[in-house]
Chains A and B, each alone.
Chain A
């Protein structure tokens, strides 16, 4: 079948002050009519550049095509003038971006921007264009399309905007749809909806899709073929099934192993790829992957492996044979464990089973209301009920996971627990002491035992402080240490999180995301706290790095007997780390259960839906999808009765009126639902 898009040995340079920078080198891939190809890679792999090169958008970012050809339906895009390209963009090929909020011009209505596109390419009357736009919005599942047409981007939710973005992309019936991380910024449930939508539309419009993602799960979900990029080069490409079954490149293999799937065992170490992706400014010689590759040999260090093609597959590695040998039938052998971070053997870890001993943290009826701004005094104040009557407890030494979509209030709850915000109501008891009525000094000293790891490894470190001071700050505050003692302690802390002690004198911006997160962790454990709150601690990191950090967290828990509250939206990770998991929806805790239990027998329809929406890299088990309809309502006006009833497939009249209380379906498992599954 005639390929629609054909990229041949494409190399792309960017001009910077420091001279040209090669972002892509010799990348080749083809997409056939009606095919979905996934471009997979971590940040820095150049996947976004690749997509932009196809559109020749790189020209506007001082990039240029240094070599190779891009053919779209017989046209050589690389040689076309911007003018000719313009008539293709949006017409023959269209693009959907990662950040829907940022992708629309905020000062024009959605309608305007879609109509604008249609009329740019098709000679339609304003009215026809408008009608067409409306039908598109309707098609991509946007309720009340005519109203939305007249709304501004800021007035729509992320999910809606992404749908609108897709409508926009489809407006001129392109043959090729390029989707750059189209779901990364969205919640799992929405993500699932969007992916499903994309697939439907592909059939319907008979287009081909080039989907850029860092999430192998998504790839597995919808791709016909997968291309793995590493540092601007193709590491491997293959039909999805084959790729997942028998990766031919150690990097691919590493990525696959890094994923915490829904059935990796708690406590079991995640496999991880050492180090992190090299910066384009400092590429290693030979095979770009060799510094992180367990199989690397001198040959790899000196010579870059060529891309060898065999049948449907291509890969660039000197050692594929050995790799394949280590791959027996079962996916995870210890084959590459040499590469995984220095961790004590599994045996030691299993010791950390939930010691159902005394409870370290008890939460009773905690509420956090924010007054809605601008409500007139006198009149009954409106509140955003971010956290509404939540009670649970965390036991000594366990890891309690807290999951939920954005807006569920999980992070707020976290901040309230740490007394970073005062609870509107309710009590929090930590280690027997009432945190809620502590203040000033006593609270400050109490903080010694309660530490936090933050989501954003970029924002949570003071850019003007060097690592030594950052990690040393808790010591400065709580312990009288002289300079040398402090230096010593910091050095040990850094080592304990797998960083070089010499980093102490460097500044945050000199580090990669993973390293920064390690610094954050070092700070958190500086005072040997009893309890650590990890708020989305890994969600901003790349898969391989994620695994490293997760392992580190487990290792530390083991070593220091820590108790974790692990807040995340990525279910796999939570599942992997937690002994017990609480599920939040709209400020309510709707279900608590031991993690395996929760995933095997979710009692709440919401939980079930959440689990179902997780794209799985495990091709074997394609779960039946009950993707949730609609989106999470505003916590300012929560639905009556069971807050989930608006999206619940099983909702009844009762759910609408009566609010379900948490009740045990079995001793360890409580749920707030009238009709537990």
Chain B
């Protein structure tokens, strides 16, 4: 077990390094350069621009920048924003909680709704409830996030005035974004749980359970559900990815704080250190979560535990 974990951690580090290099290169290839957003090329003289570029070090060749960046990174220095020489790491740490809250809330929402509907629709296959659940599930993954977000916003904060339209302070501001994002996650989970439930119900041991005289309720909720849910644990890892991605859009729609918005802005502004920082950071988070998921998985699922 320990052995496997060590292995995973090592490869994870590799992965993280890899992703940051990748992003670095992509960002390096972005046309134009950060200076444009600092200074008005129409009025600035070439000299001004040149000096500025030099100060920012963006006139160095790729390998030089790369080396420099990783040198710093190893020392835990994520660098400073090109726009306002703000250190990146504190910036991320400042904004991450908001994103985390959003991700957590929506994950929770999607898990609760998803599992509930998934199970119901599997048990009542082809009954009305099943139809509803499946449609909800499909809608969840079929609507453009920003659209559903704005719709919710119009209804609940502008027309009904129940919830705040924007901000990231207090649970109230969390409701709408989480709901929007949860819709996606929920969609995935409904479908997944439904499918794995239907598979489990075909397993042989279900017959055994019936032959023991257990009630259908006991069979479904005590045995089938548990078997069906174990695989969905792995979904959590995937979900985190989804949520981080979703945050990019949602945080803009509901003008919440968060790393999603930072990185979106940074990409547009070619603020390389920030983009880098966020991606490396979210990569770490992603890898960490998945590592935890895998480990916990091997505890939840006796089969895996034995294999490990």
Q: Do chains A and B touch in the complex (CB under 8 A)?
A: yes
Binding site for B on A (CB under 8 A): 52, 55, 57, 60, 82, 85-91, 94-95, 97, 99, 102-108, 116-117, 120-121, 152, 154-155, 165, 168, 374, 376
Q: In chain B, residues 173-195, which have Cβ atoms closer than 8 Å to a Cβ of chain A?
A: none
A86 to B212, alpha carbons, bound, how many Å?
8
Q: Mark B284-308, 1 if CB is under 8 A from A, else 0.
A: 0000000000000000011100101
**When the two chains form their complex, are residues A57 and B212 in contact, meaning their CB atoms are under 8 A apart?**
no
Q: In the assembled complex, which residues on chain A have CB atoms less than 8 Å from the CB atom of B19?
A: none
Q: At the interface with chain A, which of B100-108, B222-230, B271-279?
A: B222-230
Q: Is the beta-carbon distance between B3 and A376 smaller than 8 angstroms?
A: yes
B303 & A154 in contact (Cβ 8 Å cutoff): yes
- Whether, in the assembled complex, B135 has its beta carbon less than 8 Å from a beta carbon of chain A, the answer is no
**How long is the Cα–Cα vector from A165 to B208 in the complex, in angstroms?**
9
**In whole angstroms, how far apart are the Cα atoms of A116 and B215 in the complex?**
12
Interface stretch, picked from B59-67, B81-89, B91-99, B199-207, is B199-207
Please tell me if the beta carbons of A91 and B213 are within 8 angstroms of each other in the complex: yes
> Which residues of B have CB within 8 Å of A55?
210-211
Q: Closest CB of chain B to A117's CB: distance in Å?
A: 5
Contacts A90-B214, A102-B205, A107-B227 known; list 19 others, CB within 8 Å.
Answer: A55-B210, A55-B211, A57-B210, A86-B213, A89-B213, A99-B204, A102-B203, A103-B207, A105-B208, A105-B209, A105-B227, A106-B303, A108-B223, A116-B214, A120-B213, A152-B303, A154-B303, A154-B306, A168-B212
Asked whether B204 lies within 8 Å of A103 as measured between CB atoms, the reply is yes
A91–B230 Cα distance when bound, in Å, is 31
Nearest chain-A residue to B227 (Cβ)? Answer: A107
The answer to whether B211 touches A107 (Cβ under 8 A) is: no
Chain A hits for B223, CB < 8 A: 105, 107-108
Tell me the minimal C-beta distance from B227 to chain A in angstroms: 6
A60 near B210 with CB under 8 A, answer yes
Tell me whether B43 is interfacial, beta carbon within 8 Å: no
* A104 with B3: CB separation less than 8 A: no
Contact with A along B214-253 (1 / 0, CB 8 A): 1110000001001100100000000000000000000000
B45 interface contact, C-beta 8 A:
no
Q: List residues of chain B with CB within 8 A of the CB of A82.
A: 216
Binary interface encoding of chain B residues 112-136 relative to chain A, with 1 for a CB under 8 A from any of its CBs, else 0: 0000000000000000000000000
Q: Counting CB contacts under 8 A, is B55 at the interface? A: no
A94 to B302, CA, bound (A): 27
Q: Which residues of A contact B210 (CB under 8 A)?
A: 55, 57, 60, 89
**Chain A: minimal CB distance from B13 (Å):** 19
Contacts of B301 in A (CB 8 A): 107
Question: Is B212's CB under 8 angstroms from A89's CB?
Answer: yes
Name the contact of B205 in the complex, choosing from A57, A88, A105, A121 (C-beta under 8 A).
A105
Chain A to chain B contacts (Cβ below 8 Å), 20 pairs: A52-B207, A60-B210, A82-B216, A89-B211, A94-B211, A97-B204, A99-B204, A102-B203, A102-B204, A103-B205, A103-B207, A105-B227, A106-B205, A107-B226, A107-B227, A107-B302, A121-B213, A155-B306, A165-B208, A168-B208
Q: Which residue of B lies closest to A104 (CB)?
A: B205
Please measure, in the bound complex, the distance between the C-alpha atom of A376 and the C-alpha atom of B216, giving whole angstroms: 47
Chain B residue nearest to A121 (CB atoms) is B213
- B212 touching A90, Cβ below 8 Å: yes
User: Nearest B residue to A91 by beta-carbon distance?
Assistant: B213
Residues A106 and B227 in contact, CB atoms below 8 Å apart: yes
Label chain B's interface by main secondary structure: helix
Report the minimal beta-carbon distance from B293 to chain A, rounded to whole angstroms: 17
Contacts of A103 in B (CB 8 A): 204-205, 207-208
Name the residue among A52, A90, A121 with the largest chain B CB count within 10 angstroms: A90
Minimum C-beta distance from B155 to chain A (A):
42
A102 to B203, CA, bound (A): 8
- Could you tell me the distance between the alpha carbons of A456 and B227 in the complex, rounded to whole angstroms? 29
What residues of chain A lie closer than 8 Å to B205, measured between beta carbons? 102-106
- The answer for the CA separation of A267 and B244 in the assembled complex, in Å, is 71
Question: In the bound complex, what is the Cα–Cα distance between A87 and B215 (angstroms)?
Answer: 9
Instruction: Choose among A60, A85, A105 the residue with the greatest number of B CB atoms under 10 Å from its CB.
Output: A105
Contact between chains at A116 and B306 (CB < 8 Å): no
How far, in whole Å, are A376 and B7 apart by their CA atoms in the complex? 11
CA distance A52 to B210 in the complex (A): 11
CB distance from B302 to the nearest CB of A (A): 4
CA separation between A152 and B227, bound complex, in Å?
13
Contacts of B208 in A (CB 8 A): 95, 97, 103-105, 165, 168
Whether B302 pairs with A152 at a CB distance below 8 angstroms is yes
**Beta-carbon contact of A106 and B302 below 8 Å:** yes
Question: Is the Cβ of A117 less than 8 Å from the Cβ of B227?
Answer: no
Tell me the complex Cα distance, A87–B4, Å.
Answer: 47
> Please, how many angstroms separate the alpha-carbon atoms of A165 and B230 in the complex?
24
Given A57-B211, A90-B213, do A152 and B3 touch, yes or no (CB 8 Å)? no
Distance of A300 Cα from B302 Cα, bound (Å): 56
Q: Are B3 and A97 in contact (CB under 8 A)?
A: no
Name which residue of chain A comes closest to B302, CB basis: A152
Note all chain B residues with C-beta closer than 8 A to A60: 207, 210
Contacts of A120 in B (CB 8 A): 212-214
Q: Which residue of A lies closest to B1 (CB)?
A: A374
Q: How far is the CA of A60 from the CA of B204 in the complex (A)?
A: 12
CB distance from B41 to the nearest CB of A (A): 57
* Contact A116/B302 with A97-B204, A103-B205 known, Cβ cut-off 8 Å: no
State the CA gap A117–B210 with chains docked (Å): 10
Give Cα distance in the complex from A547 to B301, angstroms. Answer: 44
Enumerate the 8 nearest inter-chain pairs by beta-carbon distance, A residue then B residue, closest first: A89-B213, A152-B302, A102-B204, A90-B213, A90-B212, A95-B211, A86-B213, A117-B212
Query: Which of B3, B208, B214, B303 has most chain A Cβ within 10 Å?
Result: B208
B200 to chain A minimum Cβ distance, whole angstroms, is: 9
- Max chain B CB contacts within 10 Å: which of A60, A89, A106, A120? A106
Most buried by B among A91, A95, A103: A103
- A108 vs B214: C-alpha distance in the bound complex, in angstroms? 15
Expressed in whole angstroms, the Cα–Cα distance for A507 and B173 within the complex equals 61
Residue of B nearest to A168 (CB): B212
B241 → A minimal CB distance (Å): 26
Inter-chain CA distance A492–B300, complex, in Å, is: 56
Contact call A374/B3, Cβ cutoff below 8 A: yes
Give bound CA distance, A108 to B219, whole Å: 12
- Give Cα A86–Cα B215 distance, bound, in whole angstroms: 7
Q: Is the CB of B306 within 8 A of A152?
A: yes
Contact present for A88 and B213 (CB under 8 Å): yes
**How far is A163 from B238 in the complex, measured between Cα atoms in Å?**
41
Question: Quick check: A374 and B214 within 8 Å, CB to CB?
Answer: no
How far apart sit A440 and B141, CA to CA, in the bound complex (Å)? 50
Residues of A contacting B4 in the complex (Cβ-Cβ under 8 angstroms)? 374
- Alpha-carbon gap, A498 to B53, bound state (A): 83
How far does the Cβ of B63 sit from chain A's closest Cβ, in whole Å? 33
Contacts of B302 in A (CB 8 A): 106-107, 152, 154-155
CB-nearest residue of chain A to B229 = A107
